[in-house]
Each structure stands twice: as structure tokens, then as C-alpha cells.
Structure 1
Amino acid sequence: MELRQLEYFVTVAEQRSFTRAAEQVHVAQPGVSAQIRKLERELGQELLDRSGREVRLTAVGEAVLPYARAALAAVAGVRAAVDELAGLVRGHLSVGTVTSHDVDLPGLLAAFHDAHPEVEITLTEANTDQLLEGLWAGHLDAAIVSLGSETPPGLDVLVVADQPVVAAVSHDHELAVHPVISLDTLRGRPLISLPRGTGLRTRLDEACAAAGFVPKIAFEASDPQILAQLAARGLGAAILPRAFAAARPRELRVITIDRPALRGRLAFAWRAGGPTSPAGRALVSRARETLGVAEGE
């Protein structure tokens, strides 16, 4: 019995597909199949049911799976312990980030790479809800996410930006004469927003639901720059962080939203208790040293 056989078996069980598993472990599909067949012959039992469209565990496979995971975790723990005692940081880091922000994540990752060149780093871009799922599931070691006032359960966070969320309109828009509006003023008006799943959109949807209405989203885009351009053309009120909107005074009029005030936080997040690998702990430590809170008005 070999560790790679257990790794292939666990990956196929999780992916429910030999093809997806082979892509994940970077091995040709026939190689994955052959190693699992070899494992099954050694055990004298089939671990996987290959008869359906999706690969499923047999009863024996269900019984073996937790032990296979434990064996792989134990080996990873041995390697991590040796590296840590030797003062080395190796391995792999999976980092996630929301689409647009002012956090110097490239600088953080570049400095980390300079200090620990043997660590392989991958970066994934997604909406906050997807990144949170990745953190909870253990697929991501850390991520830049957009949050409201509450910290999601099971996570630790380092807040790196905290500022008001505002309405931004063209200078000839009917709301442009108002420096401050209530959230209810936006009821029934065409709004321009990031898509569902983003932190800023979640803040908007939650606040509107508390006020008793559903926001009328006329345009959605994942890039705040596009939202600003649409608002500048008079197509509605864009919901944006204050600093982003205020940086475009020629195109946009910034309107404070009050009663209730909306705020958005950007945070560097990781699983509560800290990452399990030395590389993950080293990244969190460096983030604590280099990323600070930037509060808005």
C-alpha cells in the first residue's frame, strides 16, 4: 500500500470523478485508475462503484475513507513538524481575493515569496461567499474578503479597511443635489451594484430587507470601475465604497447614505485557530506585520 494510492483514492472519492481527480493530482487518468485498482487488489475489495455517471464509494470504500484521510494527514503532519523544527517553510499556499480592493496583496505575497522561495503560492479570485466557503472547507489558507459588521463564524480576521458605502450618481442626476439621503430614498430607484455573493451587495441587500424593500438593481458588474462608468452616464445610482467614488469627482457626485449608515470592511481572513501548516502560519504572521486598518470617514 502506497501513499499515492491513498491520495488518489481520497481525491476520486471527493471529486466523484476519475477525470477531475486526475486533473487535481496532475496525473493522467489511466495512472490514477491503475493505482486505485492496485490498491483494491491488495485489499481484496472494491472501494469505488464505477457503474453510474458519478463514481461512488462502496460500503468498503466508505469504511476505508476516514483511515485514508487520517494517514495522509499524519504524513503531512510529520513533514510540517520536521520543516518547522528545521526552521524551514515549504509546501503550498492557496490564497483567495475579492475582485477589486486597495489592499497591497501582491506586495504581501511578493515579500513572502522572497522570504520563503520554496513555498508554492496559488491565487484565486472570486466573490466573498465563494471565498468564505473555501476557507471553511480548507481549500484556501487565507483570503481577502468583504465583510459587514459581524465576523463569520469559524474564522479569524485582520481588518485592513473600514469605510462607508455610498451612492454615487452623475452630476445631473436628480439625487445629486442631496449630500445625504436615507436608505429609503433608494426604494424603487434604479441602482448599479456588484453581483450577489459579493460583500458590498450583501450589505445592501441586508439593509434594504431590514427597511422592508428589495433594491431595484438595474445593472450589475463585478468591476467597480464599470459601476462608476455606468453611474457617470446617468444610468442610476452606483453603490460603492466612499474612497473609490470620491476619487472620481469629475464624473461622480458622492452621496452619503444614512438612516441606516452602510459600512463595508475588507479583511484578511483565515480559519479560526490559525492555519495548520508552517507556511500558512508564516503568511498570517507577515500579514499581521504589514497590513493595517485603514478607516474611512
Structure 2
Amino acid sequence: MELRQLEYFVAVAEEGSFTKGARRVRVAQSAVSATIQKLERELGVPVFSREAAGITLTDAGMALLPEARGLLSAERRARDTVDQVRGGLRGTIRMGTLTSIAARPAGRGLMVIDLPQVLGRFHVTHPLVTFQLRTTPRGSAGHLSSILAGDLDLALVCTVERPDGIRLHQLGSIPLCFVCARRHRLADATSVSLEDLADETFIDFPRGWGNRTMTDRAFAAAGIVRDVPFEAADQDTALGLVRNGLGVTLLPRVGSEEDGIRVIDVDRRDLDLPVAVALPTDRQPSAATAALLASILRAAGRSAGGTV
């Protein structure tokens, strides 16, 4: 069994198709298919069920996947160790990102850190380190799952969870505000309570996103069942829906103060969204990952000791 076979297998399994898996590893699909067929012959069992509707992992494939991920991670760490002996930080850092906590467009302010700036400066200092930046439709929950599975080295997350196997380095928090159209009945209020919003139609982020989880918990604690017919995967889309009178939402003040929009404080301390860097507890970060973590913490004015 070769590491290349496992790399192709993991890529196809995670992407859900041979075509996407081949694109990810930048190899012809025919070569990926032939390599995985060789792997299956060596194992004596199929790892994928190939049907007209697509591919799925067999029981053997499901059992192999975490082991394959672990072997590939070990191989990466071994290469990183040797590279460091050769001089200078080297290697690849796989990082999960959330667009809402990076820099906003010019003039719209800063959430917590300017991630592109941090990465740019890090690249100047450590040019032999490469990055793989990933987003996920599952928000912070998706990044935390990927860290536990060994698919990410670290991730910026907005989470109120404290999952087992995850170490969080707190960067700060973002207060959420009530956001409505200027013609809304509460547009002239100086502050609102959750009870004031009980009958509103809400626009919110998908389940699994940290701000959605926190908002759901706050309303549940207040005994309020929200109506959330609209989901948006980014702040600008949510603001567009609000501006056109389709509902209200809870968003950070930064980036929400636009024409046709009112941003109003909410009388709840439990609507401050924590922002953190997440890493696994069961494996040591590479030297490059540790150096990037230190750069992120410095940019946020934090120290490495601020973990939970």
C-alpha cells in the first residue's frame, strides 16, 4: 500500500466523486481511478460502491478513511520535521477560514483580525511555507469536524461550543445587534430586547454557524420560538434581504451600517459571539502551524496562554 493510493482515496472520499477528487490532487481522473482500483485489489475488497447515482464508501472504505487520514498526517509531520532540519520553516498549513472575521471592504471596518494581512506578512517572513485555505458551508461546526478528522491543522471559528478534542485560543468577541430596514416598526428604538422581537420574521445563517447556534440558544432561553424562513451564508446577502423588507436579523454592527438599514443594540450579554483559533488536542502542531498561530494571536493582541 502506497501513500499516493491513500491520498487519492481520501480525496475522492471527501469530495464525493472521482472527478472532483482528481481535480483536488491535480491528476487525471483515469490515473486516480486506476490507482484506487489497485488499492482495492491489494486490500481484497472494494472501498467505494459505484452506482449510477454516484459513489459511496463501503464498510471497508469507511473503516479505512480515518486510518488513511492519520497516515497522511503523520507523513506530513515527518516531512515538516526533516524540512526544519534543512533550515527555515517549511511545509503546508491547512487552515479553515470564515469570511466574516477577516477584514471588511475598504471603509467598513475590522471584525477581529485582518487575516489576509497576517498571512501576507507571514509569507514574507516564511516564504517556504504554503497555505491551503478552506471554507465550509457548515460554518464553524464544519471546521471543528475537519480538525477532529485530521483534515485541517487549525481554523478560525465563531463558536459557543467546547468540543472534546479541540483547543480554542480566544481572539475576542463580536456583539450582535438587531438589524432592520429603516421603515421597520422598531427602527427608531435605541435598544431592543428579545421579547420585542418575538413576532418577527428572521433572516439567519445556516445551522452549524456559531452566530446561529448562539442566537438560537438565546431565544430558547427566553422561551421564544423564532420564525426563520430565510438563511444567508454571508453578511451582505442577509443585509440585502433586510433592506428589501423580507425580515430582520442579528449581525455585527461592523459592516451592517448601510443606507436603508438600522442597527440597534440588543439588551443581552449572551449575544457576544466568541471568536477563536481552533486546534486539535491529540496532536502537536507543526513548527509552521505554531508560528502562524503566534502571528494570529499577536495580531489580535492575545497571548498563547489564552486557551479554553
Fold conserved between structures, TM > 0.5: yes
- Measured in 1, the distance between the counterparts of 2:13 and 2:181 equals 53
Q: 2:115 aligns with which of 83, 102, 105?
A: 105
Map Cα deviations across residues 132-167 of structure 1 (whole Å, 9 max, x no partner). 22222222222222123x544322233333132111
Bigger shift: residues 210-219 or 132-141: 210-219
Match of 1:48 in 2: 46
Question: What SS class does the counterpart of residue 224 from structure 2 fall into?
Answer: coil
Match of 1:207 in 2: 218
172 and 273 in structure 1: CA distance in 2 versus 1, 3 angstrom threshold: same
Map Cα deviations across residues 183-237 of structure 1 (whole Å, 9 max, x no partner). 1221121223233332212211111122223212254322323333443444433
Match of 2:300 in 1: 291
The two structures have a TM-score, normalised by structure 1, of: 0.77
Contact kept? 1:192, 1:230, Cα under 8 Å: yes
Structure 2 letter corresponding to 1:170: A
Alignment of 1:22-61 (within 5 A): 22-35=22-35, 46-48=44-46, 52-53=50-51, 54=55
Instruction: Report the Cα offset of residue 107 of structure 1.
Output: 0.7
Considering only aligned residues, what root-mean-square deviation do their CA atoms show, in Å? 3.5
Contact kept? 2:172, 2:300, Cα under 8 Å: no
Match of 2:248 in 1: 237
Alignment of 1:103-252 (within 5 A): 103-126=113-136, 127-148=139-160, 150-245=161-256, 247-248=257-258, 251-252=260-261
20 and 227 in structure 1: CA distance in 2 versus 1, 3 angstrom threshold: closer
Bigger shift: residues 24-33 or 102-111: 24-33
Map Cα deviations across residues 95-129 of structure 1 (whole Å, 9 max, x no partner). 22223233311011111222222222122233222
Contact kept? 1:48, 1:58, Cα under 8 Å: no
2:275 is aligned with 1:266: yes
Contact kept? 1:16, 1:56, Cα under 8 Å: no
Unmatched 5+ stretches in structure 1: none
Contact kept? 1:168, 1:239, Cα under 8 Å: yes
Q: 2:290 aligns with which of 257, 281, 292?
A: 281
Structure 1 letter corresponding to 2:248: A
Which has the greater radius of gyration?
Answer: 1
Contact kept? 2:241, 2:247, Cα under 8 Å: yes
Contact kept? 1:179, 1:254, Cα under 8 Å: no
262 and 72 in structure 1: CA distance in 2 versus 1, 3 angstrom threshold: closer
- Measured in 2, the distance between the counterparts of 1:106 and 1:168 equals 27
Contact kept? 2:73, 2:150, Cα under 8 Å: no
- Measured in 1, the distance between the counterparts of 2:295 and 2:287 equals 12
226 and 64 in structure 1: CA distance in 2 versus 1, 3 angstrom threshold: closer
Instruction: Count matched residues.
Output: 287
Contact kept? 2:179, 2:242, Cα under 8 Å: yes
Unmatched 5+ stretches in structure 2: 102-110, 303-308
2:88 is aligned with 1:88: yes
Structure 2 letter corresponding to 1:134: S
- Measured in 2, the distance between the counterparts of 1:181 and 1:64 equals 52
113 and 273 in structure 1: CA distance in 2 versus 1, 3 angstrom threshold: farther
254 and 21 in structure 1: CA distance in 2 versus 1, 3 angstrom threshold: closer
